[in-house]
Amino acid sequence: MRNHTPHVAELVALALIASLPVLSPLARAQNPSGDTPPKAPAPSKVNKPAPTAPAALVPFPAPLITEILYAVPTGADGDANADGVRQVSGDEFIEIVNPHNKPIDLRGWTITDKRGSEKSKSGAPRSGAVRFTFPPCMLKPGQTAVVFNGYGCTWGEDVGDEKRAPAKASAKFGGAIVFTIKNLYERSSLSNSADWVLLSDPQARPVHLIRWGNVDGKVEGVLLEEAAPSAMNGSIQRAGLTGPLEPHRDSDSLRFSPGLFDNPLAAGYRRPAPVRAPTLAPDGKPPADAPSKDAPAIEPSPTPDPP
């Protein structure tokens, strides 16, 4: 027999045949033509949208009032700033939050009560007024700032005032930026029975007003006005970024929670543990029947409070 030397074309054909897949009987039944079935397309990647904040109740760059303590509870339950002493006026506070998804500058924003929003006949601020203007301070998305009345209070950490912001956020108050008004008179305080808290922008335009009780007067042009429920044994707080105002509620039965606004918009959000005030010093605890700051009394000074 004569040896047969395969041609190049034959070698190529043999290689192609060898490369074809061997189909099982089931595969031949499903694909009798023997054609290689097309590959299934790879699943497409779906980019989930990033979480967004609900529509804010106030326009950017306005902060939003989220909690007010105007009626300080008696005894140890009233020590809102956790310095060991309950102050009927000094432990009052107002909490605001940045409800937007980018930082805001608090410089020039002002908090006033009804008396602080008005002028005396001489044009000076009224005696007993509550008024605070923020210094330069950047508030991150979801971050809170807390302004304490501050009368008679002591502080175990750096807190800000009208001249400067604190060097860092407060670990004790859930990462809030904490300020004190440094009021010099006990009567410079919010009224328990009827008052308001007004937040105005750096151009003195009224933005957010919360009133309680039968307070007279009207603020023209305010963007958001709300009526708060009665809360004579704790603070009023907002139920979420867009929720209503309601008496304070907390699983630990606390009467207030400065700086701990429940806001998933905050970076690295995790509900912080509530602040528990230390036991009052024996000489610092007021009697259970301590008079309300709204009881008739002579003003400590006929002149306006110094700035």
- Residue ranges of domains in the chain: 52-285
Q: What distances in angstroms separate CA 279 from CA 36, 240, 284, one per listed residue? A: 80, 31, 10
Give, in order, the Cα–Cα distances in Å from 256 to each of 190, 197, 250, 298: 16, 17, 8, 30
**130 contact partners, CB below 8 Å, separation of at least 6:** 111, 112, 113, 115, 116, 149, 181, 183, 188, 189, 190
Per-residue pLDDT, averaged over 63-87, amounts to 94
| Antiparallel, parallel or unpaired: β 138-139 and 144-148 | unpaired
Q: What is the mean pLDDT of residues 193-206?
A: 97
Which tokens go with 267? 């970076």
Torsion angle in degrees (nearest 10) through CA of 189, 184, 176, 170: -150
Going by C-alpha positions, the residue among 141, 174, 175, 145 that lies closest to residue 267 is 141
Least confident of 72-76, 188-192, 278-282, 291-295: 278-282
The mean pLDDT of 219-242, rounded to a whole number, is 92
pLDDT score at 252: 58
pLDDT in the model for residue 274: 44
Higher pLDDT, 236 or 11: 236
205-210: average pLDDT:
98
Is the pLDDT assigned to residue 79 strictly greater than 50? Answer: yes
Model confidence at 270, in pLDDT bands (50, 70, 90)? very low
208: confidence class by pLDDT, cuts 50, 70, 90: very high
Alpha-carbon span 148 to 25, nearest angstrom? 83
Query: Are β-strands 64-69 and 206-212 bridged in parallel, bridged antiparallel, or unpaired?
Result: unpaired
Say whether pLDDT at 52 is over 90: no
Share of the chain above pLDDT 70, in %: 64
CATH superfamily of 52-285: Lamin Tail domain (2.60.40.1260)
pLDDT for 126 equals 74
Predicted pLDDT of residue 203: 97
**pLDDT at res. 42:** 61
pLDDT value for 279: 43
Question: Of 9 and 159, which is predicted with more confidence?
Answer: 159
Closest by CA position to 307, among listed 159, 184, 136, 196 = 184
Return d(Cα 239, Cα 97) in angstroms, integer: 13
- pLDDT score recorded for residue 11: 54
Most confident of 72-76, 173-177, 290-294: 173-177
Query: Residue 8 corresponds to which tokens in the numbers above?
Result: 């190049």
Most confidently modeled range among 177-181, 234-238, 264-268, 300-304: 177-181
- Work out the angle at residue 211's Cα, subtended by the Cα atoms of residues 63 and 143, and round it to the nearest 5 degrees: 20
